[in-house]
A and B are shown apart, each in its own frame.
Chain A
Amino acid sequence: MNEPIVIENLTKYYNSFLALDNLSLRIAGNENVGFLGPNGAGKSTTLKILCGLIRATSGKAYIKGFDITTQKEKALSQIGTIIETPEFYGFLTPKETLNYFGKLRGMDGNHLTERIDNVIKLVSLEQWLNVKIEKFSRGMKQRLALAQTLLHDPPILILDEPALGLDPRAVIEFRQIILEAGKDKVVFFASHQLSEVAQICKYVAIIDRGKLLEYDNIAALEQKYDSLENAYLQLTGVPSE
C-alpha cells in the first residue's frame, strides 16, 4: 500500500461533537485533490489527523503506506504542510527558521543552503531573509510557511487554506507556485475558493458533517452537476438557483 494518502473509516469526536463520521478516502494516483466542504465539515480535522497533530477516535490514515499513528515520523517525512494560519518563532529570522526545520529533516551543508535560497526566492522573501519574523505581516508568514513546506521537496503537500489572508497578487503567485509544485507532487488542498481549487486540482473530495459526499474528477462533476459550484451547493445541501 504505497498510495500517497489513504484514509480508512476515520471517526473523530471532540467530546460529544462528531467531527468525522467514518470518513474514507483514497488518493491513489499522482493527482492534486481539492478538499471542499462548508465550515465545520471536518476538513481541518482530517488534515490535522493526516499531519499527526490530533488522533482519530477510530479508523486509520496512511501516508505513502506509513500509518500516521504508529509510524508517525516516517509518515511526516513524506509531507510538507500548512495548517491554519502559520505562526513562527518571532525571535528567529526566516533563514534560521528554515535552517532549523531543514536540519530536523536531515538536510545540511550546501544542499540545505541551496534549498533555502531556492524556496526563499520562490516566495519572494529574499529581502527579508535575515529579518526577525516578529516584524512580519500575516501574508509574509504565509509565504514563509509555503517556503518551509517546499524546503525538503516532499512528495506530498497537505495545505489547509494556504492563501488565506493574502492580497490578490500573492494569491496568484501562491497558485502558480502550488501549480508548479503539483506537477510532480500530490497536493491535498483544502479551500473555500472553488475557482482556485478548479485551477490547481484535477480531482475534488467534497465532505459535510464529517462524511464524504463525493470524490471525483472535476470534469466529471461539472458534467454531472453543470458546474463545480452547483456540485458543491447541491451536495452540501444548499439548493442551487
Chain B
Amino acid sequence: MSELKRLAIVTGYEFLKHVRRKRLYVILLLVLISEAAVLVGFPALMNGFPDDAKLMATMLSVGPSMAVIGAIFFSGDAIAGEFESKSGFMLFTNPVKRTTLVLGKYIASCIAVTILIIFGYLVLCISLYAIYQTIPLETAQSFGLSLLYGATIVAFTFLFSSISKGAMGATVITLVVVMVISGIIESVLMLAGKPYWFLISTAGDSITAVYGGIELIMAGFMPLEEMHNFPFELESPDIGRSVLAMVIHLTIGLVTSLIITNRRQLS
C-alpha cells in the first residue's frame, strides 16, 4: 500500500475523532457567540451600525479569528496525547511511517479549522448582506488569509505538541506564545520603531488589515487628527510580508514537529 493511501486513512480517522469530540462544537459555539456579540453590542454601544461595511466586516472578523485560535484546543493533543495517554503503543506499532501519521493528523486538524473558518465567514457574509446589502470584495482575501493563518497556527501547535509531555501543556504553551509573548514582542518592537512583520501575531492581523487596516478602525472611532497624537506610529501589516511570515512559521512548525516526533521515544 502506498504512503499516500495510508495518509488518506490516517486523515480520515483523525478527522472522525475531531467530529466526535465536543471541543469542535464548543469552538463553533464560541465563533457564533463572538460574532453575535459584535452584531448586538456594536449598535447598542455606538448608536447603530457603522456606515462603512468594511469596518463592520473588520469587527465581525473576530469570529474567524476565534476559530483559528480555537484550533489550538483541538490540535494540542495531536502528538502529545499519543505519548501521554499511551495510545501511541497501539498506533506507533503499526507499519506506518510516523511522518505519515503526523501529516495525517495535521491535515485532519486543518480540515477541522477550515470548517470553523467557513462557518465564521458564512455568519460574517450573511450579517453584512443583511445590514448593508453588500459584501466587500476584500472578504475573499481575508478568508484566504484566515485559512493560511489557521494552517500556520495548527503547525505551530503541532510543534509544541511534539515537544510537550502532555496535551494540556502543549495547548497552554501555544496559547501563551501566540496570544501573549508574540503580542508583547510586537508591542516592544513597535514602540522601538523596529520591524515586527515576521511575528505570528502580526501576520494574523493581516486577516482584518485587508479591509483597510488600523486606519479604518481608528477612523471609525475617533477624529483623524487624534490618531497622529499617538507616541508611536500605528501601522497595518503588509499583506505580502504577512503571507511570507505565515509560510515561514508553518514550514518551521510542521517540519520541526515531524523531526521531533520521528525521534521521540515512547518509553
Contact = CB atoms under 8 A, between A and B. Distances in A.
A55, A76, A85 — which one has the most chain B CB atoms within 10 A of its CB?
A76
B98 to A, nearest CB: 9
Interface string B95-123: 11100000000000000000000000000
Contacts of B87: 87-89
A79 B90 CA distance: 12
A92 interface: yes
B93 A92 contact: no
Contacts of A87: 85-87, 89-90
Given A53-B267, A54-B265, A96-B16, A73 B89 contact: no
B17 interface: yes
B13 A92 contact: yes
A101 B9 CA distance: 9
A145 interface: yes
Contacts of B267: 14, 45, 48, 53-54
B94 interface: yes
A148 B94 CA distance: 10
A78 to B, nearest CB: 9
B93 A73 contact: no
Contacts of B96: 73, 104
A74 B95 contact: yes
A85 B86 contact: yes
Contacts of A148: 90
Interface of B: 1, 6, 9-10, 13, 16-17, 20-21, 85-90, 92-97, 265-267
Given A76-B94, A91-B20, A92-B20, 5 more contacts: A52-B92, A53-B265, A55-B265, A76-B95, A84-B89
